[in-house]
Chains A and B, each alone.
Chain A
Amino acid sequence: MTREIMTPLNDETILSLRAGRMVYLSGPVYTARDAAHKKLVELINAGLPSPFPFEGQAVFYAGPCPAPPGKIIGSVGPTTSSRMDAYSPLLIEHGLKIMIGKGERGEAVQQAVARFKGVYLTAVGGAAALTARCVKEARLIAFEELGAEAVRMLTVEKLPLYVAIDANGLLPE
C-alpha cells in the first residue's frame, strides 16, 4: 500500500517519511521555478512577505503548459531541482518544508532539509499529461508577468512522488 499524505504537512508526518519510499500527495502545492525563486529571495531579503505561506507548505518546481479550452491545466511536471539550489536553503530557513522536483540536490540543500526537518520529493519527469490529471484546481497567485514561471496554487490529488531526501537528510539507498 502506498502511503497518502496531505498538505500542509505537520512535523510528525514529515519525520515519518523515509527516503526511497513512494507517497501519494494531495492538497495545495505552489509552483515556482528559477525566476519565481529569484523574486521570492528578493522579497525575503527586503523583509517583505511572501505571496504564499511557507510553513508546512510545498513548492513544486514546475511551469505548466497553458490550459487548453475545457481543461483545468495544461501538461505539468517537474523541472530540474538543482537549479533552485542557490535559493532553497534561505526558503527552508524561512519555514518552507516540502520541495517537489526532479534530480539530485546539492549538499547545502541536503543539510538545510536535515537541520530544519523538511523533505525533498521527486516526481516522474516527462509524464506531464498524466500528472495534469492529478490537478483539480489551478489558480494564479503571483508574478503573472513571468508567464509559465508565475506562481500558481495547484490543488493536487494523489500526485505520485518519491522521497529523495528525508528529514534526517538521508538519500535512498
Chain B
Amino acid sequence: MRDIDAGAIEETVARLCVEANIRLNTDIKEALSAARLTETSENGRTVLGMLLENASIAVNEHMPICQDTGMAVVFLEIGQDVRITGGFIGEAIYAGVRDGYKNGYLRNSVVSDPINRVNTNDNTPAIIHYEIVRGDRLKIIVAPKGFGSENMSAVKMLKPSDGIEGVKRFIAETVKLAGANPCPPVIIGAGIGGTMDKAAYLSKKALLRPIGSHHKDAFWAGVEDELLASVNDLGIGPAGLKGNTTALGVMIETFPTHIAGLPAAVNIGCHVTRRAEAVL
C-alpha cells in the first residue's frame, strides 16, 4: 500500500481549479488558431481573434478565461494500492474546491437546491466521479463545467433500428438546436451505449480527450470525422455569427449495451472546455 495524505489532495484540487479556469489548454488554443485561417466569415474570424486575445489576457493577468467558472467536476482514478490518510477523500476534494474558488477569485455558481435556489457561496458541492484502477497512484482531473454549454446537452434512448444514422442525426440535431447558446466553436463529447447513466458519463468523459484524438476503433474514428464536418456545415459559426467553425472537435466514447437499446448522450463543451490534471 502507498499512503497519500488528504491534505495533498486538497491542495492539488485547489491548484487545478484555478489552473483549469485561467489557462486555456494548448490543444484548444491551436485549434482556434487553425480555425482562424480557414474561417470563411469575417465576423467569425474577428471572434476567433478575440478568443485568442482573451486567452492571452487570462493567463497573463491571472483572470478566468470565462466568468462562468463552472460547477467543479472532478474525475479520480484511484489505484487499488493507495490508502488515503489524514482525512476523508470527499471532504478533501470539497475543501480544495472551496480554497481554489476563493483564492483564485473564481465565481461561486452553485445553488443548494434545484428549486429553492440559495447560493452555497463556496462553489461546493462538486461532482465527483470515482474510478478504481490498478496501481498505487492517484490521478485527479478537474474539469469545471459552465452551464451555457451544459444546458444544451441531451440524452436520448434511441432504438437499435435507428442505427448509426440515428446516432449521427441526434448529435447533429443537438448542436443545431444549441445555436449560439453554448459559445461556439464548441467541443462535442458523445457517449454511445451502456445504460442511460453510463452514456451520459461517457459523454462527459469524452470531453477530457484532447482535440484531434480519435476513438481507437476505426469505424467510430470515421464517425467522429464525419460528424465534425457535418456540424461545421450547419453554419452557426463562432459566437453564432455564422461561418464554418461551429465545432473544434467531436469525441465519441462507446460501451457495450443491452440487446434492446441504443443509449446516446451528447455533452456540449464551450470553446473553453476546462481541464487540468495531476498525478499523486
Majority secondary structure of chain B interface residues (helix, strand, loop or mixed): loop
**Stretch from B6-14, B61-69, B130-138, B155-163 contacting the other chain:** B61-69
Chain B residues with Cβ below 8 Å from A103 are: 179-181, 240
Please report the number of residue pairs spanning A and B whose Cβ atoms sit closer than 8 angstroms: 124
> Closest CB-CB distance, A2 to chain B, in whole Å?
10
B67:A102 contact, CB within 8 angstroms = no
Give, as a whole number of angstroms, the nearest-CB distance from A34 to chain B: 8
**A126 CA to B117 CA in the complex, in Å?**
24
- Which parts of A100-130 form the interface with B (CB within 8 Å)? 102-104, 122, 124-130
A interface: dominant SS: loop
Contact: A126 with B54, CB < 8 Å?
A: yes
- Cβ of B108 within 8 Å of any chain A Cβ, yes or no, is yes
Known: A65-B107, A102-B183. A122 touches B65 (CB 8 A): no
> Which of A6-14, A42-50, A68-76, A87-95 has 4 or more CB atoms under 8 Å from chain B?
A68-76
Q: Give the size category of A's interface with B.
A: 35 or more
Q: List 28 A-B contacts (CB under 8 A).
A: A65-B64, A65-B107, A68-B63, A75-B64, A75-B66, A77-B66, A80-B148, A82-B181, A102-B148, A102-B180, A103-B181, A104-B240, A122-B180, A122-B239, A124-B51, A125-B148, A126-B51, A126-B66, A126-B148, A126-B183, A128-B63, A128-B64, A128-B67, A129-B65, A130-B50, A147-B121, A148-B107, A162-B43
With contact pairs A64-B107, A80-B181, A124-B47 given, residues A129 and B239 touching in the complex (Cβ less than 8 Å): no
Picked from B54, B146, B183, the residue with its CB within 8 Å of the CB of A129 is B54
B105 contacts across to A, CB distance below 8 A: 65-68, 74
Residues 78-131 (chain B) with a chain A CB within 8 angstroms:
105-109, 117, 119, 121
A136 within 8 A of B: no
Q: Is A129 within 8 A of B57, CB to CB?
A: yes
Q: How far, in angstroms, from A80 to B179 measured CA to CA in the complex?
A: 11
User: Which of A67, A104, A125, A147 interacts with B239 by CB under 8 Å?
Assistant: A125
Q: CA A149 – CA B65 in complex, angstroms?
A: 19
Q: What chain A residues lie within 8 Å of B64 (beta carbons)? A: 65, 74-75, 128-129
Among A35, A64, A75, A126, the most chain B Cβ lie within 10 Å of the Cβ of A126
Q: Does A22 contact B (CB under 8 A)?
A: yes
- CB-CB under 8 A from B240, the residues of chain A are 102-104, 122
